[in-house]
Amino acid sequence: LAFTKTYSMAAAAILAITLIPVLMGYFIRGKITPEHRNPINRLLTATYRPVINQVVRSPKLLLVGGIVVILAGLWPASQLGSEFMPPLDEGDLMYMPSARPGISADKARQVLQQTNKLIMSVPEVKSTFGKMGRAQTATDPAPLAMVETIIQFKPESEWRPGVTRADIRRELEQRVQMPGL
């Protein structure tokens, strides 16, 4: 992804230097209208000039206005907390432990099978689907040592009495304790 972004920016810079001047020669023909006669430029200048004149005449007013805006935003900003989104609970759980770096493919498969068996031993779990490493895509740069398991739960009506999602997460953390994970 970083290479793609870098290459696209380099290509844009090269085109801006080489192709754009040539295209300007083809498409901009005849007399070019001066800036003061361009209607869009006149509208923008007429809108912007009074603001600039006011700021130049009274810079302290601008400074006080800026401070007032910052102070007015302090209380709402303090109420935001650390996240803008509430916790998302779609019913499934993604469990992502990591194995030791440099794990072999066979050992990774064994670890995945063992973790799936341990996860399935929790009564509230309906099914698991796990993978080690990444898929054959460039957008998932996970190493082979990274386990990603999607855990689907049974309906809450089939759960043990008094068990919550937090309890299940704690139980999963306790059960999936194995060497190298």
**Mean of the per-residue pLDDT values of the chain:** 85
pLDDT computed for residue 133 by the predictor: 73
172: three-class secondary structure by DSSP: helix
Residues found in the chain:
181
Tell which wins on pLDDT, 144 or 93. 93
76: three-class secondary structure by DSSP: helix
> Rg of the Cα trace of the chain?
30
pLDDT computed for residue 72 by the predictor: 95
Answer whether residue 85 shows pLDDT above 80: no
Q: Where are the domains of the chain?
A: 2-78, 92-175
pLDDT digits (tens, 9 = 90+) for 7-57: 999 999 999 999 999 999 888 888 888 888 888 999 999 999 999 999 999
Written as six digits, the tokens of 58 are 């009274």
Written as six digits, the tokens of 94 are 């993604």
pLDDT digits (tens, 9 = 90+) for 108-117: 888 888 888 9
What is the mean predicted confidence (pLDDT) over 65-93? 82
pLDDT computed for residue 103 by the predictor: 79
- Between strands 125-132 and 92-95, the pairing is unpaired
- CATH number for 92-175 (one of 3.40.50.720, 3.30.70.20, 3.40.190.150, 3.30.70.1430): it is 3.30.70.1430
CA distance 108 to 144: 7
In single-letter form, the type of residue at position 171 comes to E
CA distance 150 to 165: 15
